[in-house]
Amino acid sequence: MRPNELYLSGCARRRGASGHLGISGHRRAIMALSCFAGVLLALPFWASPYRVSPHRGSPHGVSEPTGIDPRQALAELRRLGARKPFLTDSPDVYLEPKSLHRFFTERIYRKLQGNAYFGYDFDEGFLLAGNQVQIDVLKDLSPGACCQNAYRVALAQALQAQDLVIKPRAPHQIGVSIVGVERQETPTTLPGVMVEAYLRNTALKKSFFIRYGAGHPRGLPAAIRLSAEMLAVQIISRANTGQHSGRRIQG
């Protein structure tokens, strides 16, 4: 186990079939987090100008740029920026129907829009006022249900890293459900998690809903950490101007 990685009791030696769940089947998409920009960036591994190199003499395991065609990169960026209805665009609807309707309702699914790289979301007008949040719900509905405790730890760490304070009666509620898990890496699959989450401002009675996947080549613990960090960024990116001035930018 690498330093700072979360240990998932019961998952280390478990074998199982890898489903789709938005993590596989997308050219091994690697989800990368950019807190500085306050956005989520997902770049397909094959299109990245830098790739991991196992050869010696390459600093930090990074090779030279591979010379991607700018027109190809531009077309890919347009595709990544596209927003389409979840029910007609997401492969999960027909490949992993059992991952649906266990947390979100049909009404929410009908309003989700986005793509399989960034996830699908629906915003009623959620705003973060101040820096106090509460973890209202955290469930693991995936087969085996072995990631709940690890995700709770990872989420608490991610929130604290952004100077968000967890309070039992905070006005901002966070609800998370793990609806799918990819445990094994294959030629077309990264270990990762698919989650459905909501953020709710109880004072405004406005919520934000999102379904997204996060995969990582270093394994399921790293993917869980990345997923939690992505959710924390979703929260602080919706802060009222000047209301959360104490937060740090994580580089």
Dump pLDDT digits (tens) for 195-233: 999 999 999 999 999 999 999 999 999 999 999 999 999
Percent of residues, the chain, with pLDDT higher than 90: 58
Q: Picking from 41-50, 83-92, 161-170, which range would have the lowest pLDDT averaged per residue? A: 41-50
CA separation (Å) from 89 to 76, 108, 189? 17, 15, 20
pTM for the structure as a whole: 0.72
pLDDT at 4 over 60: no
pLDDT band at 98 (very low <50, low <70, confident <90, very high): very high
The predicted pLDDT at position 64 comes to 43
DSSP letters spanning 68-115? --HHHHHHHHHHHH--EEHHHH-THHHH-GGGSSSSS-HHHHHH-EEE
Per DSSP, what are the bridge partners of residue 177? 139, 196
pLDDT band at 126 (very low <50, low <70, confident <90, very high): very high
Tokens of 8: 């998932």
Q: Burial code of 20-31, b = ≥16 C-beta within 10 A, e = fewer?
A: bbbbbebebbbb
Dump pLDDT digits (tens) for 163-180: 999 999 999 999 999 999
The predicted pLDDT at position 241 comes to 59
Domain edges within the chain: 29-236
Dump pLDDT digits (tens) for 56-81: 333 333 344 456 778 887 877 777 78
Q: Picking from 18-22, 136-140, 180-184, which range would have the lowest pLDDT averaged per residue? A: 18-22
- The chain-wide mean pLDDT, for the chain, equals 76
The predicted pLDDT at position 72 comes to 80
pLDDT at 51 over 60: no
The position carrying tokens 């829009």 is: 113
pLDDT at 240 over 80: no
pLDDT at 34 over 60: no
Listed residue (181, 197, 187) closest to 229, CA to CA: 197
